[in-house]
Amino acid sequence: MNWFGVAIGATSFLMIGIFHPVVIKCEYYFTYKIWPLFLVGGLACCIGALLVSNAFFSSMLGVLGFTMLWSIGELKHQAARVEKGWFPGNPKRSLPHSAKEPPQ
């Protein structure tokens, strides 16, 4: 039996699952403007995947890189969800320009 594919699938599932709350927390504390960090990290992981000779670790770096790149769009979607009231916004941050009234 070859467990290689199952291991890649399981770790990919875990990485994607971990990045869901990471995106939420990053948007909450840093706004979606933290996206360049995800871009640099994602590109670094993708380049690393090309340079690693071990197939498993190369696959994991590739999955991590593309998960970080996908998270760039999710940060902007998360900001929109906060604006719609689906997720709580950071009370220490000023309201976006589209908000009707400032907090009192």
| Averaged pLDDT, 7-11 | 94
pLDDT of residue 103: 44
| Averaged pLDDT, 18-47 | 95
Which residue is it, tokens 């994991």? 60
Three-class SS state of 10:
helix
| Averaged pLDDT, 24-34 | 92
pLDDT of residue 97: 47
Phi (first) and psi of residue 52, to 5 degrees: -85, 130
Beta-carbon contacts of 43 under 8 Å, excluding residues fewer than 6 positions away, are 65, 69
Distance, CA of 5 to CA of 10 (rounded, Å)? 9
The pTM (predicted TM-score) of the whole model is: 0.82
